[in-house]
Structure 1
Amino acid sequence: MISVVILTDGPYGDRAYDTIKEEFVADFIQLEPPSGMFLDDEIELPKDAALKIENANIIISYISHPDLALDIVYRFADKVDWIIVASWKGDGFKNQLESKNNVSCPYIMCEIEENGNPIYDEFLSKIGKPKVELILENGKVNDINVIRSSPCGSTSFVADYILEKYKGKIPDEEILPREAGLKIQHYPCRAGKMRLFTDEECKKQMASGFHQDTFKEAIEK
């Protein structure tokens, strides 16, 4: 089984860890950010943390300090299969991070999908852009299978609500997906707060749209 390390230097990443550890071997590592915003000296990492990071298959970085985020990418990109940078500020910094071929900086974590890398795709088979399956009995909702969950766990949150409300009922292909999309607004999404100069409401609308689409596709199937 692939191993995933979630890194943070602030309040983000704990929900992703809680979701990912249900599917993969996972570690959550809190790092101390450097005292200055930009530093020239090499950043020292605790030895045990560095060992866990370099032995991982996938790193997910919620690090907000730019020097620390960049140091992690440059130091470990050649040692792991893939790095997902969940927190980044500005297209220039994004381009710098993605100069490594196995680094991606998604706009929002619940949009990530397979890209052809076998390890990355194995991870994305369970975590990423939401995907659900409606299990029907005599045309009525009997159960909901979360095939792929958004990293924050909101997909299961929505699926539980829809199942509770619609179990034993015939799913309406317009109303049910719309309710799924609306319900995501009740889940406290942090995506917009992880980067400056971004529209938090836009990201919530994107997350809502992804969940609405997956429930619509599940009904159509």
Structure 2
Amino acid sequence: MVLQVPLIRLQCGKIGSTSAAAKYAAATPSDSFSIQQDKPYAELWMGTHPSLPSKDVTTGRSLLDLVSDNPALMGHDITAKYKSKLPFLFKVLSINKALSIQAHPNKKLAEKLHAQDPKNYPDDNHKPEMTIAITPFEGLCGFRPLPQIVHFLNTIPPLRDLVGEEAAKNLESVASSTSPSETKPALKAAFSHLMKSDKSVVAAKAAELKKKEQEQTNNSTNS
């Protein structure tokens, strides 16, 4: 069975044939896709996700229908456990710009959200992820050590303004602690305050930081 896999065009994707996702999609023996060299291609999906299911090239049937009608394709135990759905969604990402920060629910919450609002939560799976780099790749995962974050809060006033004085002081007070019960709430409060900042305030502080950096560059050049 040869699959035709859907391709997602997003502005964050790499352009034309520089996108691995586009090249892999074009390799499928199908006449329905050709790479446009001026368009971005961000993601290739292979799976049974209801919004973008893979299809059998020969019959045009979705992979979800095929595994539902043929339990042996995944094995009877896996089919029974995951209700005739692949327990994973395979993706190839070709990213040219930073992606947005996402929060995934756990399995129980994913099922609840799907039942309540299937339009906005089309998948009842919790989307655990594993990343394997097939080209040079840079990713952001987790947080810096707290002493480093505190250092930035003390040396970059615009950042401290966005985090808030109370949250910044709380983080300072637990920076040397090794107890997650102390550090996690403080980090959560600081990060939440930052992420919930008004867009206009973020823009103003970013401009302030950029101006300061430019002044430092000019001073270094003139000295």
TM-score above 0.5, yes or no = no
- Whose relative contact order is higher, 1 or 2, with alpha carbons under 8 Å and at least 6 apart? 1
Which structure has the larger Rg over C-alpha atoms? 2
**TM-score w.r.t. structure 1 length?**
0.28
Higher strand share: 1
